[in-house]
Structure 1
Amino acid sequence: MTENATLPVGLLVDAARNLANAGRWERATTLLDAAFASLPQGAAGRGAAARVALATAEIAVDSGWFTGVGDAAARLSKVDEFGLDPAGRWDLDFAWLRYEYRESFGRPDRNVRRRAQLLAETAPDPLRLGWAHMYLGLVADNLFDEREAAPAHYEIALHNSAGDDLLRREAQRHLGDHDHDRGDHDAALSRWRDATEAGARAGAVPGTLSQQMLLAVLARDAGDEAGATALAGEVARWATAIGAARTAAQATAFLDGVDPTQPPPAPGTAAETRFPMISDTSDTDRYR
């Protein structure tokens, strides 16, 4: 399979990304692994192999976040074998950032912050710059508890999100969280509705479900416990059906009275099902 084949590598990669965004991580990985196995050996297939290997590793990062299992580190480590152009190198470094952020969740890690800052400094286009700042905000919020520093990064992400509904969703989701913390529930509702719509436009099924959880939070805040419970119950049912174990656990915890917008709990504690406002969108088509 080459770039000039009947089914171009780019088309297959895009199809796999769409499957991953829909929560079909295993099918996406199977498709890309099959494509990789059919590529020509040597220099002829090197460029295509790099694209497929990178996309498969990115999907493994997403799968690990939502399901709690996967082989992301192993797949990320193999991408370098095939060679990448400068933009591809940036994408690989960003995938490592996302993986390391998840692994560091709940504890400060200056290496993760340095990686995010370097990615912001070297971003080759506005969209990648937006994603780098998105993670600078997440690192400030969730690794260092620097709540006052994060919104400025999210605003940069939102400003650079044109053409990428996944980035818009992420920025609006987290800006809305800060509105909610300030008690401005009208602003939070506006942002969270926009984030839900953006996620749906992007086909991000697991991410849209987790966004619905925040609408359930606002319903509870407004005193509509019946509405909040009904919405969270549906989220739990849908998330369980697609294997998004973390989102299902979050919804179940919400039904038990846990607020998912609370600060991160310590790893390994009983409160770990709180799953605060961390990046949880499947963002594997973020530059396309």
Structure 2
Amino acid sequence: MTLLDEIPDAARELARAGRGMRALRLLDAAGTDDPRIALAAAQVAMELDMRTGTCEAGARVTIAERICGPVWDVRFLRLRFDYFAQLFTGGDFAFGPDGKDPALPAELDQRAGALAADAPDAVRAGWAHMYHGVILDNLVADRAAAPPHYAIALRAGETGRDDPLTWEALRHLGDHDRDAGDLARARERWERATTLAAGSGAVGATLAQQMLLAVLARDTGDEAGSVALAREISRWSAATGAIRLHRQAEAFLAGQAVA
């Protein structure tokens, strides 16, 4: 195994731990047009932007497209980038189709389906289904159509031992359980998702999962427990630069609903 085999995985681990800028500096220091480096840099930048609100991913995805060509992983990255551009319109969460060009969510819906069909393996097909689900949920606002995609993603994550895919699917399936009034099932899924995220060293994802557990505590009448957890999430997210999550935690502590 060479240094260029190790650097991309090390950078991804740094990004999961909330050290996205350090991860990008590590990748840049590799000083190469190697496709593995370009792909990892785009992935790290996407995570960084999502958690902290920076604007690193656009240029990195374009570089990956130039170096790697239209391979599946880069096409999937572009789908993710375009999805987040719609979700974070104006810099914060903007759920649903209101105020957006209706053709854009429809195009993303089509592209996600094509990526699922063209995926080179079951895990990557699961990731395409995962994003197909969130596009339907969060942009198209077709809540009923999303869970089957999450179920496929969950099976792919579990079978392929891909913990990030598994916790993402559990997170979103739990959201639908909560909407259906099955709080026990939502808790089971969300607690398992939190454990998987923590086990993978994903600081931001773990805190985001704990935010949902705080919401669930409030749902079940444990206001003291929900507030105590949200206070810790607020402190940790502020310390790690997870700006969007910090805003959510502060809004929750102020008594507002958290999406």
Partners of 2:65 and 2:50 in 1: CA distance: 22
Determine which of 201, 204, 211 is the counterpart of 1:203.
201
Does the alignment pair 1:14 with 2:9? yes
What is the CA distance between 1:81 and its match in structure 2?
A: 2.7
Determine which of 149, 162, 177 is the counterpart of 1:153.
149
Alignment TM-score, normalising by the size of structure 2: 0.90
Partners of 1:220 and 1:141 in 2: CA distance: 23
Cα RMSD, aligned residues only: 1.3
The residue identity in structure 2 corresponding to 1:96 is R
Indicate the residue corresponding to 1:279 in structure 2: none
74-83 vs 181-190, greater mean Cα deviation: 74-83
Indicate the residue corresponding to 1:95 in structure 2: 77
Determine which of 240, 243, 259 is the counterpart of 1:242.
240
Indicate the residue corresponding to 1:178 in structure 2: 176
What is the CA distance between 1:182 and its match in structure 2?
A: 0.8
> Mind listing any 5+ residue stretches in structure 2 that lack a counterpart?
88-94
What is the CA distance between 1:33 and its match in structure 2?
A: 0.4
Partners of 2:78 and 2:52 in 1: CA distance: 18
**For 1:9-44, what per-residue CA distance to the aligned partner results, in whole angstroms no more than 9, with x for missing partners?**
111111100000111001000000001x2x4xxxxx
Alignment TM-score, normalising by the size of structure 1: 0.82
Are the equivalent residues in 1 in contact too, given 2:61–2:74 (CA < 8 A)?
A: yes
What is the CA distance between 1:71 and its match in structure 2?
A: 2.1
Are the equivalent residues in 1 in contact too, given 2:123–2:157 (CA < 8 A)?
A: yes
Partners of 1:180 and 1:83 in 2: CA distance: 41
Are the equivalent residues in 1 in contact too, given 2:106–2:140 (CA < 8 A)?
A: no
Indicate the residue corresponding to 1:104 in structure 2: 86
What is the CA distance between 1:80 and its match in structure 2?
A: 2.9
73-82 vs 20-29, greater mean Cα deviation: 73-82
Q: Secondary structure at the match of 1:148?
A: helix
Q: Secondary structure at the match of 1:257?
A: coil
Q: Secondary structure at the match of 2:144?
A: coil
The residue identity in structure 2 corresponding to 1:154 is Y
Determine which of 114, 117, 121 is the counterpart of 1:118.
114
Identical aligned pairs, as a percentage? 49
Indicate the residue corresponding to 1:139 in structure 2: 135
What is the CA distance between 1:241 and its match in structure 2?
A: 0.4
Partners of 1:144 and 1:159 in 2: CA distance: 24
After TM superposition, what 4+ stretches of structure 1 lie above 4 angstroms from structure 2?
A: none
Indicate the residue corresponding to 2:92 in structure 1: none
Partners of 1:133 and 1:9 in 2: CA distance: 30
> Mind listing any 5+ residue stretches in structure 1 that lack a counterpart?
40-45, 261-275, 277-288
What is the CA distance between 1:216 and its match in structure 2?
A: 0.4
The residue identity in structure 1 corresponding to 2:26 is L
Are the equivalent residues in 1 in contact too, given 2:167–2:194 (CA < 8 A)?
A: yes
Partners of 1:237 and 1:83 in 2: CA distance: 39
**For 1:124-166, what per-residue CA distance to the aligned partner results, in whole angstroms no more than 9, with x for missing partners?**
0010011000011101100111111111000000010031111
What is the CA distance between 1:82 and its match in structure 2?
A: 2.2
The residue identity in structure 1 corresponding to 2:232 is E
Are the equivalent residues in 1 in contact too, given 2:133–2:149 (CA < 8 A)?
A: yes
Structure with the largest fraction of helix? 2
